[in-house]
Each structure stands twice: as structure tokens, then as C-alpha cells.
Amino acid sequence: MFQGRYANIIIDISHEKVDRPFQYKIPEALLGRLEIGQCVSVPFGMGSRLRKGYVVEITDRAEYPPDKLKEICETAKDGMDAQQDMVRLAAWMKRTYGSTMIAALKTVLPVKQAMKPRQKKKILRLADKEEILSLLGQAQRKRQHARARVLAQLADEPELPYELLVGKLNVSLAVLRKLEEQDVIRIEAESCYRNPVKLDCAPEIRNRMSAEQAFIRDRILSEYDAGTRGTYLIRGITGSGKTEVYLALIEAVAAKGKQCIMLIPEIALTYQTLLRFYKRFGDRVSVINSTLSKGERYDQCERARRGEIDVIIGPRSALFVPFPDLGLIVMDEEHEGSYKSETMPRYHARETAEYLAQLKGASLVLGSATPSLEAYHRAMSGRYQLFTLDRRLTGGTLPLVHTVDLRQELRNGNRSIFSQKLQELMDQRLERGEQIILFLNRRGYAGFVSCRSCGCVMKCPHCDVSLSQHTGGKMVCHYCGYETEQPAKCPSCSSPYILGFKAGTQQIEEQLHRRFPGARVLRMDADTTRKKDSYEKILTEFAEQDADILVGTQMIVKGHDFPGVTLVGILAADLSLNDSDYRCAERTFQLLTQAAGRAGRGERPGEVVIQTYRPEHYSIVRAAAQDYEAFYEEEMAYRELAGYPPAAHMLAILIMAKQERTGAEAAENIARCLEERNCGTECGGKLAVIGPARASIGKINDIYRFVIYCKQESYRALIEAKDRVEELLARDPNREQELNVQFDFDPMDRY
């Protein structure tokens, strides 16, 4: 433990003022006995009234003349409370991910904020079931889809949460008002503090657990009862019954009086999944998501603190709900990129959950159809216990997969984006009235604009990226939002031949209209989903079979279930293999496996067409065969050879500056500092330093970006490297103001 003489203390922990710690002297009697997170009493303010505070840092560096500092009075007696744990968690995040203590505290602590109490509403069914069913029939015939959606749910449930209907099912208030006028339902207000959702719904019909499911549940619970807290990884294809296992585990742990956190990537949290949790846990479950205001979030945390809920469902930030006695954390779709924070501290929910579980004496259960290399590697090395579920419980067979070589296609004279095989199968589906998903595996697609005479590409004046062509003769920067008219003449050679290379989903949509006139097409990408709720809207429309073909980027492969889909076309499987990023094979494999899993979820068998220029690439071969283990072996061999995570660890140091020179010089200095004394650390061999280099996007919003990568087997060695860089920066406080240096451990993306 670090033996400093001064302690930085946060006084009012749930107040906005958390951004200002106060420094105190540690009295003789407490020297060496204080811990981060510990609760202490300190004299505060003019009258030096005693206040409670939390130790966030212990240091030997006095920020004021030491004789001006007040002394800590005593340590609080009431032991470790939930907030102390949160402060310790923040300290761990600061240490592990390299951010400031304040940024870490702001991430983990709910901030108190005044807010108007909001009315919570629920929908009560007044009409009886038969009446509902006949109304449902009418609505379906009249193609009143939203009305039909509500009625279909009401047929099973006498009571529904308002937010779930409006939010997840996309039903407008007007539709509900109409039903209310007709005495079919009543909209009732509940006071806010009760619960975001209270359900008195039809009792759930419980499945008998399959032998495989029961085995996992019993194994984890018997270890739990024996006092063992472990980390478990369940690898199971979609529909193999993972969620059912989570529910059983949470139920058992909650019955012991403990609380549970259920992490789900926000985009994958569907109405059906939520309803399953509500049915099982009623008003003991609560949901947080990114649309909650700070006040609402604080409110949820208060309820958790008071022990009013057993389960919280939410994205990575749900980890920071301060439960008094956390017993279990479940993390579904563990491989998802959204579990890594994109702002400082750049924490990964998996590692953070592992630490939190340790701190709180909880178990951690991870689940995925395509586990991350990190998780599977740990399972292979015995750090996690591995379970597999490989049978779809609802029946339905795995789809038939065809791989099409696009080079061969071109040789055969087919210049369209749709291969012969795909066109054939699409014609067949359209004829039979079955649905099709077309998937473009491409991140940040852009139709750039260039001059046909000199080749000059129109670029954003603030960022190092080309502008994207949009409808109406506009060009837009996807990084900073800059927008401008497409010029009539080339700005560098004055040629009038300025053309847009439209690529991506919009172009596919146009070609679809030409090749399959009459087919109803829906498009889903960053453009069509910019408006709030449009994401859910498109998916609902497709689920209701209001369209034959859904075209989209990777956002369409998550979560939702479309039983009408019997064909999935992956238009260019290898586009993400060009990413020059060590995770691109893994990402390609995951996306292809997930996309293929979208076909044949109903009674009719599905087919998948994978179009690619690299049919021999192992990520494509293994995805086509749905063979996770073979993929893992090959990918792991590559990571070991190249020293990439999880075979080793990696630290990206991102240096940002308004002045290009300042940034470049700082980057040089940092690299030199890392190379100096680089003769091996106490934790192992030398640090591999790569760079400095301009980041792949060298400028965003007029800020220049440089990057240095470090690789080492030991994570500790990378933390030491980070500490050295921080020391270097602290020596030159003037420079610090012109620079923004950020750390990213085991980065998900290339900078």
C-alpha cells in the first residue's frame, strides 16, 4: 500500500461537485492505515463542520502549503458500504485503464440531479380475451399494424407497461387513445417511485429445463452454495436456451436475498426478452438504458440501494448500480464491441465485471454464440469454466450455406452485385412470398466524390476523411457533421466531371429496384436510422412482413428474430477483412455466423449465400461451416505468432493536439521515453514499441491525431509504461494543456 501523507477526499459523493476532491493531512495515528474508498470524517467549510467523505487518492504531493491543510478526524465506523466499493472500483479503473480519478468516479457514481417526478403508466385490458382476438382479426385485415401489435400482446397479458408498448413496440399514443375510447383498454398512471414497470401479467409458462440447461444451472449453483465464486462461459448458438439458464440462475440467487446485474448490449434488448424478465421477476426488475435522464438514473440507483429491486437489466453502465449485496453478474453476447467504453476511462465491461464480482463476492456468467477470443482463451486455460449448448430448443435446423467466389462470377460475365446463385434463390423466395435479408458487411461505408479528370477526392476541411455523397447534391462528413454542396467544378483542376461513387446500402437498394421490380425493399443503415425510434420502426415493419427484402449493415444481424426469413445474402463478406486491424478476422467470423443464424428461424429451412473474393480465408470457411472451435484454433495461432491479445496485451497511446507540430513532437518524446530504460521490466521482457505514426484518421474536427502502440505479455508492464508516460507529461504542465493524451488498453479498433 502506498504510504502517503496526504489524502484527496470527495465530500459529497453523489453531487455534481464530485469533480473537485479536497486535500487533507493524514494524522499520525492513521498513517499507512487508510485505504482508497474508505469513509472518513473531515472538517469542512467555514465552520469546519464534520462531514463524511471518501478517500479517492493517497499521495505525497501536497497541493497547498501543508500547514494550510486540515486534518482528517477519524475513519467512519460503519464499515464498507456500497459507495466505498464504488470508489474502490473507480480507483481500479483509473489504475487499469489509465484515466483521471475524476473521470473514473464520474463513470461509476450516479449523479444526483433535481428532476420532475415523472408519471409512470400502464395499460390495463378491459375487454375479455375473445373480444380482443376478434378485434385483432379485424385490425389485421385492415392492415392496422400498430393496433394489431397492441392487441396481440393484450390477448396474452391483462396488463402491460406503457413504456414497453410505446418504446419497444412502437405504438403511438393516438393508437392507444383510440383503444381507450372504445373501452378496450384503460391507461393508468402509477406514481413514479413505485417502479418503472409493474406487471400483473399472465403467469409465464415455464419450460422444463433440458438436461444440458439443468446441468449448467446445477453446477453453477452448487458451487455457489459451497461458497465458490467463479466465472463461467456458456457458448451456445442463438436459441439454445442461454437466456433460460440466466433466468434460473438469477431467480435462485435472488431467492438468497442477493441482487443481480444482467448486461445486454442495448441494441439486442428486444421486447420479447424484456417481457420474459418482467414475467419472472415482476416489479423486482428494472431496466436502464441510454435514454434515461441523469435524474432517472439516479432514481434507479437509489431504489437499488434501498433494496427495492433484485435485478437490473442494461448495457455496460448497469455495472455501476450500487446494490447492497450483489450476488451475480450475467453478461450476454459477451463478444459485443459495445461492451468497451469509447470514452475515458476506456474500460471493458468483461474485465470490470470480473473485478466487481471479486470485490462483492459475486459470480460472473458470460454467454455468447461466438465468444471473444479473450473469453475463450481464458476458458481454455481454465480461468473460466466452459459450458456448451449446441442444440436449438425450438427446433429448426441450421441453414444450408453456399459460398460464392465473386472473381469467378466476374469471369462468367456477371457484373451485378448479386451473384447468379443469389439471384436464383431470391427469385424463388419472392415467388413463394418468403422474406430475404441482404447484409453488407461494411463499417462506415461512404460514397465518396471525386474528379474524373485529376482524381482529386473531396475531403472534409476539418477531418482527414473524404466526404460522403448524400441525396440532394450534398456532401457530408460522417465524423464531424460538416455539410456542403457538391461543387460543379473540380476545385483543383476546374474539370466539370465530378462524380460520386455511391457505394453501400443505398446503391444496393437501387439495384434491387432494377433487378427485382415490385419487390418491397426496406433499408437500414446509419442514414435511415438517424431519427429516434426509426431503428425499431424498420425492424417492426419487416417483422410484420410489410416488406420482402431488408438491406442493411451489421445493425440488422443483432437481436431480432424474423421467422419469415428463409434466405440471407451476405453481399461482400470480406470487406471487413481489409480493415488492417488484428481483430478483423474475428469480427468477420462473428458477423457471418450471426448473419447466417438469421435464416430459417421459423418452420421453413433457411439458406445462406456468402459472396466473397476470398472464399479460402479461414474466417469465411469456418463461418460457412459454423465451426467455432476450428476458427478459434486458427485465429489464436495467428495472435500468438503476432503477439496480439489475448496472446499478449496491447496499449494504444493516442496523442491529440490542435497544432500538428506539438502533437508530432509530443508523440516522438513519448516514444523515446518508452524506449529509454526499455531493457525488460520486472514483469518480463522488453516492451515492443510501434510508432509514433499518424492515426489512420489523422485529423478529426481540426485536432491532429498520433498513435503509439505497445505490446507486452504482461499487463502490468503496460501499466508501468502508462505511468511513465503520465510522469513525463506531468513534468511539463504547460505542454499538458495543449495536448490530450489518452490510453486504450487492448483496443477494439485501430486508431
Residue numbers of the site for ligand ADP (CB under 6 A)? 207-210, 213, 236, 238-244, 393-394
Contact predicate 741/654, CB 8 Å: yes
- 253 contact choice in ligand ADP, Zn ion, none (CB below 5 to 8 Å, kind-dependent): none
Interaction partner, residue 460 (ligand ADP, Zn ion, none; CB < 5-8 Å by kind)? Zn ion
Q: Facing residues of 188 across strands?
A: 122
Q: Are strands 159-161 and 120-125 parallel, antiparallel or unpaired?
A: antiparallel
- Write out the DSSP string of 388-452: EE-S-TT--PPPEEEEEEHHHHHHTT--SSS-HHHHHHHHHHHHHT-EEEEE---SS---BEEET
C-beta neighbour count of 214 within 10 angstroms:
13
Q: Which is nearer to ligand ADP, 398 or 476 (CB)?
A: 398
Spatial distance between the Cα atoms of 285 and 291, rounded to a whole number of angstroms: 18
Q: How far apart are CA 366 and CA 675, in angstroms?
A: 38
Residue 576 interacting partner from Zn ion, ligand ADP, none (CB closer than 5 to 8 Å by kind): none
Q: If contact means CB under 5 to 8 A according to the sort of partner, which of ligand ADP, Zn ion, none does residue 691 touch?
A: none
* Binding at 76: pick from ligand ADP, Zn ion, none (beta carbon under 5-8 Å per type): none
Cβ nearer to ligand ADP, comparing 207 with 343: 207
Q: Which does 228 bind (CB under 5 to 8 A by kind): ligand ADP, Zn ion, none?
A: none
Residues 431, 589: Cα–Cα separation, whole Å: 31
Minimum distance, C-beta of residue 368 to ligand ADP, in the bound complex (Å)? 10
Residue 660 CA to its chain's centroid (Å): 33
| Residue number with CB closer to ligand ADP (210 or 740) | 210
Check if the beta carbon of residue 524 is closer than 8 Å to that of residue 506.
no
Asked whether the CA dihedral 208, 212, 215, 217 is positive or negative, the reply is negative
76 vs 393 by CB, closer to ligand ADP: 393
| Only segment of 24-32, 136-144, 264-272, 457-465 that touches Zn ion (CB under 5 A) | 457-465
Choice between 328 and 356, CB closer to ligand ADP: 328
**Closer by beta carbon to Zn ion, 388 or else 453:** 453
Identify the bridge partners of residue 595 per DSSP, sorted by sequence position. none
The footprint of Zn ion on residues 422-451 (CB under 5 A) is 451
Closest distance between ligand ADP and the C-beta of residue 395, in Å? 9
**Which does residue 241 bind out of ligand ADP, Zn ion, none, counting CB within 5 to 8 angstroms by kind?**
ligand ADP
Instruction: Please report whether residue 480 would count as binding Zn ion according to CB under 5 A.
Output: yes
Q: Least Å distance between CB 525 and Zn ion?
A: 19
Query: CB under 5 to 8 A by kind: which of ligand ADP, Zn ion, none does 239 bind?
Result: ligand ADP
Select the span of 9-17, 152-160, 488-496, 624-632 touching Zn ion (CB under 5 A).
488-496
574 binds, among Zn ion, ligand ADP, none (CB under 5 to 8 A by kind): none
Through-space distance between the first and last CA atoms of the chain, rounded to whole angstroms: 35
CB nearer to Zn ion: pick between 182 and 492: 492
The total of other beta-carbon atoms located within 10 Å of residue 270's CB is: 17
Edge-to-edge strands, sheet with 259-263: 285-287, 311-314, 259-263, 326-331, 363-368, 231-236, 385-389
Task: Find which of Zn ion, ligand ADP, none residue 243 binds, CB within 5 to 8 Å per kind.
Answer: ligand ADP
Q: Which stretch binds Zn ion (CB under 5 A): 139-147, 277-285, 383-391, 456-464?
A: 456-464
> Is 490 a residue that touches Zn ion (CB under 5 A)?
yes
In the complex with ligand ADP, the residue whose CB is nearer, 133 or 393, is 393
Establish if 138 lies at the interface with Zn ion (CB under 5 A): no
**CA gap 716, 132 in Å, rounded:** 62
DSSP per-residue string spanning 522-581: EEESTTTT-STTHHHHHHHHHHTTS-SEEEESGGGGSS---TTEEEEEES-TTGGGGS--
CB of residue 245 to ligand ADP, shortest distance in Å: 7
Could you tell me the CA-to-CA distances from 30 to 1, 22, 38, 53, 61 in Å, in that order? 13, 18, 12, 15, 17
Q: Which does 493 bind (CB under 5 to 8 A by kind): ligand ADP, Zn ion, none?
A: Zn ion
| Residues β-bridged to residue 75 | 40
- Given 31, 493, 499, 642, the residue binding Zn ion (CB under 5 A): 493
Cell numbers placing 211: 438436461
- The residue (of 238 and 259) whose beta carbon lies closer to ligand ADP is 238
Q: Cβ of residue 242: shortest distance to ligand ADP, in angstroms? A: 3
As given in the structure block, the three cell numbers for residue 333 are 453476447
Amino acid at 310: D
Q: How far is the CB of 272 from ligand ADP (least distance, A)?
A: 8
In the list Zn ion, ligand ADP, none, the entry touching 462 (Cβ below 5 to 8 angstroms by class) is Zn ion
Using the CB atoms, write b or e for 359-370: b if 16+ within 10 Å. Answer: bbebbbbbbbbb
Least distance in angstroms from the C-beta of 449 to Zn ion: 11
Write the burial class of residue 426 (CB in 10 Å: 0-12 exposed, 13-18 middle, 19+ buried).
buried
Please choose which of ligand ADP, Zn ion, none residue 454 contacts, taking the beta carbon within 5 to 8 angstroms, the exact cut-off set by kind: Zn ion
The least CB distance from residue 655 to Zn ion, in Å, is 20
Question: Would you list the DSSP string of 252-296?
Answer: HHHHTT-EEEEE--GGG--HHHHHHHHHHHGGGEEE--TTS-HHH
Using the minimum distance from each CB to ligand ADP, give the nearer residue, 347 or 387: 387
Give the nearest distance from C-beta 448 to Zn ion in angstroms.
13
The SS3 of residue 102 is helix
Q: Which is nearer to ligand ADP, 333 or 746 (by Cβ)? A: 333
Residue 319: CB minimum distance to ligand ADP, A: 20
Contact 484, 537 (CB under 8 A): no
Nearer to Zn ion, 491 or 685 (CB): 491
CB of 250 to ligand ADP, least distance (A): 13
Q: Which residue number, 462 or 520, has a Cβ lying nearer to Zn ion?
A: 462
As a whole number of angstroms, the longest Cα–Cα distance in the chain is 87
Among 22, 215, 482, 638, binds Zn ion (CB under 5 A): 482
Q: What does the binding site for Zn ion look like in residue numbers (CB under 5 A)? A: 451, 453-454, 456, 460, 462-463, 477, 479-480, 482, 490, 492-493, 495
